[in-house]
Amino acid sequence: MPPLFAIHPRPYYQNAAGQVSYSPEGYVQLIWSSERVGLGDIQHLYEHTLQLLRSTRTGKIISEHGQRQPLSAEAQTWITQNWIPRAMRESNTHYCAIVEGHNPLHRLATQTIVAGAPAGFRFQRFATRPAAAAWLESLA
């Protein structure tokens, strides 16, 4: 088994919502915490994700949901109507591999985001991180 730091590189940014890092395989990783967090923490995590996407020019994300709590309707709207369009425009980001969370309510909130995302932003959902990474690595 590879060392943990090979699977989850050192965080670029971390707060109560989770952490964001860059994988040498060519994508940005979001690893969500199990904490209940407010919109501000979620926005800060996503803003740092966008900074990292711009600086690395990767255009691909793995979002590991694990034990993440369901996102509020306000957070879902902000992600689909604000953050995703900016990520597409500012960093040419178009791909997000989601490693499914354990909470069924969380999965429902995730589906709302997937359904509400702008055209041209492609999500794929996976049960494991290796499957999600393989999909992202297969993209040109």
Residue 56 near residue 27, CB atoms below 8 Å: no
Share of the chain above pLDDT 70, in %: 93
Write out the residue range of the structural domain in which residue 9 sits. Answer: 4-138
**Residues near 68 by Cβ (< 8 Å), separated by ≥ 6?**
18, 32, 33, 34, 101, 103, 106
Does the structure show a pLDDT above 90 at 139? yes
Does the structure show a pLDDT above 90 at 63? yes
Beta bridge partners of 125: 98
pLDDT at position 15, please? 97
Please count the structural domains in the chain. Answer: 1
Q: What's the predicted TM-score (pTM) here?
A: 0.89
Does the structure show a pLDDT above 70 at 75? yes
pLDDT at position 46, please? 98
Which domain CATH number covers 45? 3.30.750.24
